[in-house]
Amino acid sequence: MTLPTLPSGGPRLLLRQMREVMAEGVSGQERLDKLVRMIAANMVAEVCSVYLLAEAGDLELFATEGLNPAAVHATRLKVGEGLVGTIAETAESLNLSDAPAHPKFAYRPETGEDPYRSLMGVPILRAGRTLGVLLVQNRTHRHYTDDEVEALEIIATVLAEVVASGEFSAASGVALRERLAPVNLHATGLADGIAVGVVVLHEPRIHVTRLIAEDVEAETGRLEAAIDGMRASIDAMLHEADANLAGESRDVLEAYRMFAHDGGWLRRLREAVVTGLTAEAAVERVQNETRARMLRSKDPYWRERLHDLEDLANRLLRHLTGDVATASKQALPEGAIILARSMGGAELLDYDRSRVRGVVLEDGTPTSHVAIIARALDIPMVGRAERLLERAEPGDLIALDGATGELHLRPTADVVRVFDEKLALHAQRRAQFHALRNEPAITLDGVHVRLNINAGLMVDLPNLDETGADGIGLFRTELQFMVAPTMPRLKAQAALYRRVIEAARDKSVVFRTLDLGGDKILPYGPRNVEANPAMGWRALRIGLDRPSLLRYQLRALIAAAEGHVLSVMFPMVAEVAEFVEARRLLHMELDRAQGAGKRMPSAIRVGAMIEVPSLVWQLDQLLPICDFVSVGSNDLMQFFFAVDRSNPRLTDRYDLLSPSLLRMLRHVVETADRRGVPLGLCGEMAGRTLEAMALVGIGFRAISMPPASIGPVKLMVRSLHASELQALMEELYDEPEHSLRPRLAAYASEHNIPL
């Protein structure tokens, strides 16, 4: 028997019929029963079924045409179980001519589905979350056409909005209960601080209520007009950026403009409208598909690009609805806590800092741009807050601890009281730190420890004065490259470096040359897939293999430092020969500038980062040709212990206060002291008070950290005797313990050293 294909008119005819059913004054269950009968008839299917996510997290058969009616609300599958569960788990459609032969097929005798061989199922998606599964079945072995698959996906788009609106009591009921109940999460702390405030959605939800087009030609015109309006608004922002925004922010807007002209994205939008959806529903459908695919990608590059497309889709929806203002441009309530799936650093800069108490991200890592900026702005932030957006509503009370990752949505009165106490204590500590701002970090026995900040953006620079830091121990030059849609030109690089030097005035600044590769991917550069990128082609290795890139940056640094001291540090040096070659390239650029009659830096200081253990055993050869060296504790630790820092299973496996690691650092200190070469350390180790105390005990006299750590570390330094601590450390290096943390914490407690 040959089955007919989808009737003439395809999804348009079915969507018109669905609009009539949804306008009827019947119960949600009756409406869903009518819809599955209509879909089955329209698609010439013998079975049409809808499974929705139930309260326990299972997929419940909610309506069917063709299967045993007694199975409705009785048949359940776990996400990942059977073909229905697989569709829900992967958020991908299945099209099978012999479904029972599929290895994931799960037989449910109560449904009476024995005669049916072919199956086509699609996920019901909204906001990246699977709400259910829509499927059709036939007795014969057949492969459904692409047009039929597309028709079912369009129908699922409409069903998703109906389900999310509270029409049915399964997935919508779960969502309603979640929106009302307190939610307690242990997320990831990204920026230190305590905050209690009200929820403000970074991208306020635009509820699409009109899903089915009455006039496809008119909807096409609306879409084209909205695209033009969106592009014009981005162009206007870029024009404004020329005068008002920092280079990094403007570069992000340039990236938005490129996405706004992406041909593939625009083609999918136009095709969705032609099928019979409104322009708004078309944007929702395309973005749902994109979001589901990208969220399940293991490639971090594509997961990062999702944010750009999310932002663009939201901008387009605002132009379609006439609501073109974003949260950052609206009047914020007092004590706003911004919630977002993800956020770019420039977007955080757009907010009124005086009203933002905190930020919560569903994604986010400690090394992301927005986390770095949040720490620079001293805004508490947590990330990895899974599924929080779908459970939060604007105006909800929320409390967070940016140090521990503790997060409470709609907290109870007891939780609010505890956080109020935390805030009071935090305020006392901040006042204590502020009082020390202009005091030097000198121990009780007169040892001066230089406390520097890490920076990478212009927004970091006010922290030099606000914290009383001694200088910038590490300026990450790669951030300018990473946020730009194209390679920053020589003048743009030099202008940024010059502003940094001028803002620091008489304080020292150490510029680290590009540390790209690994997890730092340029949006415009080649993407090299490596099995272990952290130990692959990155940092100085790229600079030496692409000397024109390194020389270009060195040329900009020399131009920026005219009349000032220029301190340049090369990252990821694995052997002395690499440093010699890098220094040779620097001298070539110095000779070039001098030959051209350029005004030269008043002095040149050239250093190396000790991040690769092999370099530790070449210090006697390296130090005589270095002006200074700096230990990069983050990479050095992961290479020393063979630890992938991005692997959550290994996060607490090895300790920064391991005797073996501290003993190696002591060797570095002794060698640098013997050679008379200035030594520093930068990395998370320097910003944690107990670890920083250990560094002072080892003999480090210059450490660089996030700005928010300056106050706590300075208070700690001014409370200890360096000589006593150093004597204690000498007794501990040979201990066989996993970590010296308990011993050092006990010492701090006994000697009233605040941590």
DSSP 8-state assignment for residue 704: E
Structure-token match 């905190």, residue found: 358
Helix (H, G, I), strand (E, B) or coil at 106: coil
**Rounded Cα distance, 559 and 599, in Å:** 8
- Beta strand 603-610 pairing with 565-570: parallel
**Rounded Cα distance, 120 and 109, in Å:** 20
* Cβ atoms of residues 398 and 407 within 8 Å: yes
Q: What is the DSSP string of 640-664?
A: HHT--TT-GGGTTTS-TT-HHHHHH
Q: Where are the beta strands (DSSP E) in 402-503?
A: 406-409, 450-455, 471-476
* Cβ atoms of residues 265 and 272 within 8 Å: no
Q: What is the DSSP string of 531-600?
A: SSGGGSS-THHHHHHSHHHHHHHHHHHHHHTBTSEEEEEE-S--SHHHHHHHHHHHHHHHHHHHHTTPPP
**Rounded Cα distance, 77 and 86, in Å:** 10
**Rounded Cα distance, 207 and 226, in Å:** 17
The token duo for 136 is 């059709």
Q: Where are the beta strands (DSSP E) in 316-355?
A: 336-340
Structure-token match 């999918």, residue found: 268
The token duo for 165 is 């609106």
* Cβ atoms of residues 137 and 118 within 8 Å: yes
- Beta strand 183-186 pairing with 188-191: unpaired
Nearest to 373 by CA among 344, 342, 398, 336: 344
Question: Between vectors from CA 304 to CA 299 and to CA 305, what angle results, nearest 5°?
Answer: 100
Determine the distance from the C-alpha atom of residue 413 to the mean position of all C-alpha atoms in its chain, rounded to a whole number.
31
Nearest to 164 by CA among 135, 134, 132: 132
Q: Where are the beta strands (DSSP E) in 261-325?
A: none
Residues with a catalytic annotation lie at 369, 682
- Beta strand 76-78 pairing with 94-96: unpaired
DSSP 3-state percent helix, strand, coil across the chain (nearest 5): 50, 15, 35
* Cβ atoms of residues 142 and 22 within 8 Å: no
* Cβ atoms of residues 625 and 580 within 8 Å: yes
Helix (H, G, I), strand (E, B) or coil at 185: strand
* Cβ atoms of residues 364 and 188 within 8 Å: yes
Nearest to 14 by CA among 38, 44, 45: 38
